[in-house]
Chain A
């Protein structure tokens, strides 16, 4: 019962803060509300017994990605005054398009038959031990390739932020 209330609370926080990310005028407020949304998502991971992913989510998103975002916002000195404005017609069109997308997704997935849910569900699948065994067993090669991805991302970031490219 307790976890149900927690689920609804986290859902409310996630959706409310996601809306505020989109509709707040100041980019720094958007970034801060996005951090709250990430924490709510991490709470959902905890509820789903994915402790390892919850920890990684907080570290990677709230710790690394959002710090990068806020750093860039502060470096570019973005605030409410320099925020570009879109015309009202485009805003209404965007909102209607997004709502239609949500409607289509919900309508398509609402009637899905979830027949294959196993009764003997194993609560320990999100633990770091099981996950590590799978990650370093079956997914060893993709894991190594992701390090190459990080290296190329690092090289790309350094190359792009050089002052002049000759």
Chain B
């Protein structure tokens, strides 16, 4: 299982860039607030994967601890975010993100 002999680090950078861009496309493309949350998870995930790849290629344990903390923050973020989403749904009866345009210029 010597992955770092066969796969250059550039492949991982490419993969994570593509995944991050797909997440960004999703945030811009969709109007359902729930799917936008999922796309944010996708972007967090790609950065996590890149941190793990760097930690493996540079033999550094600290990056994996950071990934652990990022996962903790993501879990907390999702719980609060979904509570906010429920609140929005209760008040507007939709999960359409464009229903919340009162602060828009």
Pairwise interchain contact B61-A131, C-beta atoms closer than 8 A: yes
Do A116 and B75 have beta carbons less than 8 Å apart? no
Within the complex, the shortest CB–CB distance from B3 to chain A, in Å, comes to 5
Please give, as numbers and ranges, the residues of chain A lying within 8 Å of B67 by CB-CB distance: 53
C-alpha spacing A121/B2, complex, angstroms: 10
Q: Which residue of A has the minimal Cβ distance to B77?
A: A153
Are B42 and A86 neighbours in the complex by a CB distance under 8 Å?
no
8 Å CB interface, A36-85 against B:
37-38, 41, 44-45, 47-50, 52-53, 56-57, 60-61, 64-65, 68-69, 72-73, 75-76, 78, 82-85
State which of A14, A56, A98, A138 has its C-beta within 8 Å of the C-beta of B21: A98
User: Are B52 and A48 within 8 A (Cβ)?
Assistant: yes
Q: Which residue on chain A has the smallest CB distance to residue B34? A: A27
Query: Which chain A residues lie closer than 8 Å to B26 at the CB level?
Result: 21-22
Q: How far is the CA of A84 from the CA of B100 in the complex (A)?
A: 13
Interface residues of A in 108-166 (CB under 8 A from B): 109-110, 112, 114, 116-118, 120-123, 125-126, 130-131, 134-135, 138-139, 142, 146, 149-150, 152-154, 156-158, 160-161
> What's the interface size class on A, roughly?
35 or more
Across-interface contacts of B82 in A (CB, < 8 A): 68-69, 72, 157
| Contact in complex: A125, B64 (CB < 8 Å) | yes
**Alpha-carbon separation in the docked complex, A139 to B69 (Å):** 10
Q: A156 touching B9 by the CB < 8 A rule?
A: no
- For the complex of A and B, the 7 pairs showing the least CB-CB separation, nearest first, are A98-B25, A102-B21, A94-B28, A153-B76, A160-B83, A22-B26, A105-B17
- B-to-A contact residues, CB < 8 Å: 1-4, 6-11, 13-15, 17-26, 28-32, 34-35, 37-39, 41-42, 45, 48-49, 52-53, 55-62, 64-65, 67-69, 71-80, 82-87, 89, 94-96, 98
Residues of chain A at the chain B interface (Cβ within 8 Å): 1, 3-4, 7, 11, 14-15, 18-19, 21-23, 27, 30-31, 34, 37-38, 41, 44-45, 47-50, 52-53, 56-57, 60-61, 64-65, 68-69, 72-73, 75-76, 78, 82-86, 91, 93-95, 97-99, 101-102, 105-106, 109-110, 112, 114, 116-118, 120-123, 125-126, 130-131, 134-135, 138-139, 142, 146, 149-150, 152-154, 156-158, 160-161
A sample of 20 inter-chain contacts (CB < 8 A) reads A7-B7, A18-B22, A22-B35, A37-B45, A45-B49, A49-B56, A60-B74, A61-B41, A64-B75, A83-B32, A86-B29, A97-B24, A98-B29, A105-B21, A125-B60, A126-B56, A146-B72, A150-B75, A153-B76, A160-B83
